[in-house]
Amino acid sequence: MITGKKLYVLANIESVQDPDTGDRTKEVTSAKKLINNAELVGINTAQLGQQQGFNLAFSIKIYRVFYTNEKYLYFDSNLYEIKSLSKADIPTKMLLNVQRLEDADIRSAIEGWLNE
């Protein structure tokens, strides 16, 4: 099912350098797991996103107090980047409009955090 109740992760990622090898890896700096509805993006929001160069996939309705400027969203084994925020049907909630992101390093960092 594309839409509906989903377990998702809101996360921030940072590139960290290994002191021994000098290699840079992506690590989760902060994250939280939440369950909420994923909805398809509305036509007006999609058109505004296209004007800004975004290809928005979903809107996630979330209580405002839970969102603390995270940049990434992960659910259904897919990674998304939060591109814009919108108002929701009630003032205590907001919509996170997301675009699919193909970054294996960030996805594996979030999956590693989930499996810890």
Q: Where are the domains of the chain?
A: 4-114
Instruction: Give buried/exposed letters for 44-67 (b at 16+ CB in 10 A, else e).
Output: ebbebbeeeebebbbbbbbeeeeb
Q: What is the pTM of this model?
A: 0.87
pLDDT > 70? residue 1: no
CA 86 from centroid of its chain's CA atoms = 14
pLDDT > 80? residue 64: yes
Note the CATH number of domain 4-114.
2.40.10
The mean pLDDT value for 63-73 works out to 94
Q: In angstroms, rounded to a whole number, what is the distance separating the alpha carbons of residues 76 and 82?
A: 16
Residues of the chain above pLDDT 70, percent: 99
Model pLDDT, residue 43? 87
Model pLDDT, residue 36? 85
Two tokens at 109? Answer: 């960092």
pLDDT > 70? residue 106: yes
pLDDT > 90? residue 83: yes
Model pLDDT, residue 62? 92
Model pLDDT, residue 54? 87
Amino acid at position 103, single letter = D
The mean pLDDT value for 67-72 works out to 95
